[in-house]
Amino acid sequence: MKKTSWACVGLLVAAVTAPGAGLRNPHVRDGLELSAQGAAVVVAPGACEINGQVVRVAVAIALPVAPGPVVSVTNDPPYRLSADKPQGFAKGTRLRGPNARDVNACGSLVSASLEVRAKDGALLKLGEDYLLDAAWGHLGIGPHSSVTTNDPVTATYRYALLRMDTIQVSADGKVSLKPGVARVSAPVPPAADAGCLALAHVFVNYGDTTVHQDQLFTIAETPEQAITASTPGRIPKTLALLKAGKPVTVVCWGDSVTAGGNASTPDKRYVDVFAAGLRERFPQAQLTVSNISAGGSRSANWLFPDKFPYRTLRGAASPCQFQRILDAKPDLVTIEFVNDAGLTPAQVEETYSDILTRLQPLGTEVVLITPHYTMLKMMGFANMAGQDRRPYVLALRQFAGKHSVGLADASARWEHLWKEGLPYLTLLDNTINHPDDRGHRLFAEELWKCFR
């Protein structure tokens, strides 16, 4: 694969240490270093342990990595060009091919392949008849168009897919590469074959034809080795009620992630996974878990709906009513707002102190959830081994300690993924900010730590 350009992020990778640098699979005794060379990954000689037996790889081997798959679409059924200028993931007419459920996958469209034609087959001209946001695959009407927003047009184009491959060693010392299933977003690496050791994963980005070192992800640690700041013991009243088998009401409050953004089914949303896990841990409890959330919202929409209306909705028309939380009379509220990530430390102190004050008359306990990782540009990362330095995240951790409230440190879990051999972007189902089922479960796992 070519050197990865990390489409849509505008950041360079070459000057930054590759994600797998300095890491070693714990089952490796010596050697077996990985290096990217052209369109292959070279695995050096060495030894590893498989099922208690030392296995030797006698000579270096080059494993060819197939290019990133590309799908061709011809005369995609009629579109109508948006009157909005295509810009970002929200505006314009979406091409259907690179769709990642709720948005188009950023960087998937092979923009040079696009042809847009009028109903009579006439080729339309980019920049005049139509506009294109190449990163997002969105179209819009051009400034001097020969068609209108009511006229049907067709599109012929290609779009690229992502893939995760697994490098494995067999019990007889053979090294091989097992290709994964290509997807427009959130590819999953294949499990190693029976009796084999998975050494690392290879991330094949959109349109790649050569391999780069930062696409090699050594499987160096397990999920259990992740160090997070999640806090057991800070919700004593809720724990006591659960253990006593008394009624307990938990409200999970948040934005589109709490609402379930991009979970494959409702039971895979982190709120539902969390609730199911609590019932397993406290089978005697009379537990009610309510999901009170609104996609695209931030805490200010709920706390000050007149000053910060939600999508221009006001009063009873807006779902963002803090009174909904108070009316539930919760024993515990969990709070997740990735959309609060722009808050400064001072704003975190002010905003979340206000929340505690409003809940205090009910005696409600609180667990704050640090947000997951989002696309590289939003995080300010050069690659997928970045350490979370968002002021909001650091401030949430400090606030939780200062005010002795619970903390479920999802951010630290996402920060650890690259050490598990997983580029975190592959857990973003919409390529921006909505996790897949695996990402949702990480929230639940950190929440469960608060109930020890």
| 224-449 maps to CATH 3.30.70.330 | no
pLDDT of 90 higher than 60: yes
On average, the pLDDT of the chain sits at 94
What pLDDT score does 164 carry? 98
Q: Residues of CATH 2.80.20.10 domain(s) within the chain?
A: 28-67+162-220
Query: Does 63 score more than 90 pLDDT?
Result: yes
Residue 302 has a pLDDT of: 98
**Chain segment 361-403, per-residue pLDDT in tens:** 999 999 999 999 999 999 999 999 999 999 999 999 999 999 9
**Cα separation of 398 and 151, whole Å?**
56
End-to-end CA distance of the chain: 46
Q: Find the range with the poorest average confidence among 120-124, 314-318, 397-401.
A: 314-318
**pLDDT, mean of residues 75-95:** 95
pLDDT band at 314 (very low <50, low <70, confident <90, very high): confident
Count Cβ atoms below 10 Å from residue 227 Cβ, excluding itself: 10
Q: How far is CA 141 from the centre of its chain?
A: 32
Q: What percent of the chain has pLDDT over 90?
A: 93
CA 172 distance to own-chain centroid: 37
Show the tokens assigned to 232: 């057991």
Confidence of residue 12 (pLDDT cuts 50, 70, 90): very low
- Tell me, what's the pLDDT at 433? 96
Q: What is the CATH T-level fold of the domain 28-67+162-220, as seen in this structure?
A: Tail fiber receptor-binding protein (2.80.20)
DSSP character string of 316-354: GG-S--HHHHHHT--SEEEEE-GGGTT--HHHHHHHHHH
Question: Residue 325, exposed/middle/buried by CB under 10 A (0-12, 13-18, 19+)?
Answer: buried
The values of phi and psi at residue 446, to 5°, are: -70, -35
Beta bridge partners of 163: 204
- Predicted local distance difference test score (pLDDT) of residue 16: 38
Task: Tell me the average pLDDT across 312-340.
Answer: 96
18-22, 281-285, 422-426: least confident range: 18-22
**How many angstroms separate the Cα of 106 from the Cα of each of 7, 8, 156, 165, 428?**
7, 6, 18, 21, 11
d(CA 205, CA 182): 10
How far, in Å, CA of 42 to CA of 29, rounded?
18
The residues, ordered by sequence, that sit 6+ positions from 280 with a Cβ below 8 Å of its Cβ are none
Contacts of 46 (CB under 8 A, 6+ apart): 28, 29, 30, 31, 32, 33, 56, 57
Which of 4-18, 50-64, 272-286, 351-365 is the least confident region? Answer: 4-18
Separation of alpha carbons 146 and 168, rounded Å: 56
The conformational region for residue 365 under phi > 0 = left, psi -120 to 50 = alpha, else beta, is: beta
* Predicted local distance difference test score (pLDDT) of residue 19: 65
20 band by pLDDT with thresholds 50, 70 and 90: low
Q: Is the pLDDT of residue 7 over 80?
A: no
**Which tens digit of pLDDT belongs to each residue from 170-218?**
999 999 999 999 999 999 999 999 999 999 999 999 999 999 999 999 9
| Domain boundaries for CATH 3.40.50.1110 within the chain | 224-449
The tokens describing 307, both together, are 């000053």
- Give me the pLDDT at residue 14, please: 31
pLDDT higher than threshold 80 for residue 21: no
Average pLDDT over residues 279-295: 97
Average pLDDT over residues 161-178: 98
